[in-house]
Amino acid sequence: MATDSELKIGYQGAPGAFSHRAVKIFAEDLNRLEDVTPVSCKTFDEVFARILSGECSHGVIPLENSSVGSIVANYDLLWKNKVEMVGEIYLPIHHNLIGFSDTDISKLVEVYSHPVALDQCRTFLKELTGAKAVSYWDTSAAAFYVQETGSRTIGAIASEFAAVETGLSILRRNIEDHSGNRTRFGVITLVNGHLPAPPAAPFKMSCVVELAHQPGALANLLRNLAILGVNLTKIESRPIPETPWHYRFFLDIEIPFEEVTDAVTSAIGRLSEAHKILGRYKGWQEPAQ
């Protein structure tokens, strides 16, 4: 089991992945950078499984990206598994072409990366007329693959941290189609394994509610939350596959005063058919420049 002095934090990807970077930001924020061991996982399911088994104390998972929207697989895993959300991190996403320093870009025959990253760098890839875009399970793992082969005719698309981890060079920086690309990550841990400690108000709370398909069900819930002075920062509906005409809503809300917390959770319970409070945590603050 992970003890309090060693924080093993699971993330999906190889060292240098964007999620790995988010793990480090979380560790810095806790002032525990030295105690933290990031644990590379192949899949999101593996991140959850390692937390449930006690092998990892925490996990860091992507929840939404400004270009591609919500990562619905992780919302579904949050609903299904007994974990708690204890933090959020926003990370700017910049993609880079990575390879050996003496690689000639015009001679590349293959560029490896995660399919979503390939999709976000279409304009750049179109310019590389001689190169095929090859799908790989992770951006940073693609950079490691380039490094292992020693080849000067292949490159990878990954973060600048992947360049550091692999010792490779950035051949072209910020090759994403759209600037301003950001990903929001959630920090998760076992229910009742709350570290950091629950924050004082104001704080954010994430929850999932299931509502009947009838006029006013959602309006009624939101009106009760509004009366309590609660602000909504995200709402998303998802059809529930097993029960047609019922909807699951993912809500992020800002709780302004400690005193309303109980009234908020009780309203959520009373006005929904099923619900799950995913956790309470400090809303993300951009670090001072």
- Residue 265 CA, chain-centre distance (Å), reads 25
Interaction site with its own copies (CB under 8 A):
66-73, 110, 115-116, 118-119, 122, 125, 132-137, 180, 213-216, 218-220, 222-223, 225-227, 229-237, 239, 241, 247, 249
CB of 2 to its own copies, least distance (A): 29
Strands 132-135 and 96-99: unpaired
**Nearest-angstrom CA–CA distance, 104 and 101:** 9
Q: Where are the beta strands (DSSP E) in the chain?
A: 7-12, 36-41, 58-65, 69-70, 83-92, 96-99, 110-113, 132-135, 154-158, 169-172, 182-190, 203-211, 231-239, 247-255, 274-281
Judge whether 44 and 74 are in contact, CB under 8 Å.
Answer: yes
* CA torsion through residues 281, 57, 138, 77, sign: negative
CB of 151 to its own copies, least distance (A): 14
Phi, psi of 288 (to 5 degrees): -60, 140
- From the candidates 44, 185, 203, 250, which is the catalytic residue? 185
CB of 213 to its own copies, least distance (A): 7
Question: Residue 8's closest CA among 61, 58, 60, 62?
Answer: 58
Is 139 known to be catalytic? no
CB of 234 to its own copies, least distance (A): 5
Is 185 known to be catalytic? yes
- From the candidates 183, 189, 249, 250, which is the catalytic residue? 183
CB of 36 to its own copies, least distance (A): 29
**Nearest-angstrom CA–CA distance, 74 and 45:** 9
Residue 58 or 204 having the CB closest to its own copies: 204
Residues designated catalytic: 183, 185
